[in-house]
Structure 1
């Protein structure tokens, strides 16, 4: 009977069932971006299968094929999508383990956005007369808010100094400094924004993530900042590193960022290692140089 059930289950598992899985993820209150990524990864998995039946060997084969062109972190992200789908379909025995990774202590310098580079980006936006982009970047960097949460920065929040953010059913308070509130109130007066979200299109809809990314990339040349460092989420990382350098309180930082797992927060506090190198030099434990 168990063998017959497995046959029926294998027949049910197909690209057509992705719609049901997407609905399930939505019911689990996963973000739209997460759902989109999971479905994209699953389509890649089905493309690899080419109509073959799903079993443990097939999933292991896909995992090995990914190693030829993907980094371990990317592989594990894609495996998470497939393993979740296999759980959903009742094929738990087909799941595979993630790639083992040694925890990184430092980031590559070419990926770390410095405070000085952030200042250059803001100044470049101002010199172009793009006040909205300038204040948008400052809002992310001064609060640690996610791009998807910008819609919670409303006109009303500027008078309370607090924005209540709802992320996956979890409510947290994002504090706005007096300086940020003052700058945003001035922007709202200049643009006749009297209620609702501050950063929105002419018809009142939240700004598109891709448009923000594109606008920031357009500043790279005039700001003198490498394009690989310039994307909205890196501003959130800069907020995290700056806060942690002052407070050294990982638990509180996790709360401010809205992280459920403090291990995620540790990633946000990683730097290029330059300060660590300076500290080693100050120890002066090399006694002779030839």
Structure 2
């Protein structure tokens, strides 16, 4: 399906068309998904008199009022479409701030994020190692560095591909990134990821402004998405199960399984609201119960009988 529509004119229309093109190319969204996003975004634009792309929190709050009589699932779907749309606008530099916190959050039971289990991740890295041994080209070194950073730090795709050439220093095991809404956050970088970047960085032209250059700019998110799909297929993993965002989810899921603190995870992922981070608590509720039973300070204190 083409992501364009004859109605996509004016500032809102052009922004919506660009967003749908990204969803089709990068996220591989199905035709029905694109139709639903387009319908919801154009409907919101009509309610805001063609000012959706530049809307502020007050205007989005009015949208919530207009949706008040809708079924919770319908309102939640519309709000989710707008959140993704505004995140795209901020990532693309088409606006400076994200007003979507003002959108309603109907209680519908949030879908769990796609993720990979540990065996899938091991297969990805085994395929990367096989490639490097068979063909140690700059392209394979670059892909290893990209995957190590995605899975080893939870970077968003845009943050990853647009890293400056000297963003990582050998003596600095972290990055300081400016993410959504201009918020800065500290991102720890694993020793593995730093080593992979160091091996790759010597192949980057010295005059490049980017760590992952491509032509006159940096590697595109769409190209990153394509590289991961090919890697997954070669590793025996269905390509539709992987994307940069899935690796970010795997980073968060596996850290939490390993005992990471939820607040620390929130900071590393750059979530403004810890409620967003709490979605990962689905991953291992049994382990969390066992943790309470084993580590609670009263676990060894005998309970008095009534």
TM-score bracket for this pair, using the shorter chain length: 0.5 to 0.7
CA distance in 1, matches of 2:115, 2:84: 28
SS of structure 2 residue aligned to 1:155: coil
> CA shift at 1:101, angstroms?
0.5
CA distance in 2, matches of 1:155, 1:81: 30
CA distance in 2, matches of 1:74, 1:99: 9
Structure 1 residue aligned with 2:210, among 178, 197, 206?
Answer: 197
In structure 2, the partner of 1:134 is 144
Report how many residues are paired: 223
1:152–1:165 contact (8 Å) kept in structure 2:
no
CA distance in 2, matches of 1:181, 1:173: 15
Deviations 1:239-282 (A, max 9, x none): 111222223411111011111100101124433x6x749x99xx
269 and 144 in structure 1: CA distance in 2 versus 1, 3 angstrom threshold: farther
CA distance in 2, matches of 1:220, 1:143: 19
2:116–2:246 contact (8 Å) kept in structure 1:
yes
CA distance in 1, matches of 2:210, 2:280: 27
Greater helix fraction, Structure 1 or Structure 2: 1
RMSD of the TM alignment (CA)?
Answer: 4.3
SS of structure 2 residue aligned to 1:158: coil
In structure 1, the partner of 2:80 is 77
> CA shift at 1:114, angstroms?
1.3
2:157–2:245 contact (8 Å) kept in structure 1:
yes
1:117–1:225 contact (8 Å) kept in structure 2:
yes
SS of structure 2 residue aligned to 1:173: strand
Stretches of structure 2 lacking an aligned partner (at least 5 in a row):
1-7, 17-35, 48-61, 86-101, 291-306
2:149–2:193 contact (8 Å) kept in structure 1:
yes
270 and 47 in structure 1: CA distance in 2 versus 1, 3 angstrom threshold: same
In structure 1, the partner of 2:243 is 231
CA distance in 1, matches of 2:127, 2:148: 13
1:34-53 superposed matches below 5 A: 41-43=40-42
SS of structure 2 residue aligned to 1:113: coil
> CA shift at 1:15, angstroms?
7.0
166 and 246 in structure 1: CA distance in 2 versus 1, 3 angstrom threshold: same
Matched, 1:149 2:162: no
253 and 41 in structure 1: CA distance in 2 versus 1, 3 angstrom threshold: same
CA distance in 2, matches of 1:196, 1:232: 22
CA distance in 1, matches of 2:79, 2:68: 14
Structure 1 residue aligned with 2:173, among 146, 161, 166?
Answer: 161
Q: Which has the larger radius of gyration?
A: 1
CA distance in 1, matches of 2:247, 2:108: 26
211 and 20 in structure 1: CA distance in 2 versus 1, 3 angstrom threshold: closer
In structure 1, the partner of 2:183 is 170
2:151–2:247 contact (8 Å) kept in structure 1:
yes
1:158–1:184 contact (8 Å) kept in structure 2:
no
2:266–2:277 contact (8 Å) kept in structure 1:
yes
CA distance in 1, matches of 2:212, 2:84: 32
SS of structure 2 residue aligned to 1:165: strand
> CA shift at 1:62, angstroms?
11
Stretches of structure 1 lacking an aligned partner (at least 5 in a row):
1-13, 23-36, 49-54, 83-94, 281-290
In structure 2, the partner of 1:26 is none
180 and 16 in structure 1: CA distance in 2 versus 1, 3 angstrom threshold: closer
190 and 154 in structure 1: CA distance in 2 versus 1, 3 angstrom threshold: closer
> CA shift at 1:216, angstroms?
1.0
1:15–1:43 contact (8 Å) kept in structure 2:
no
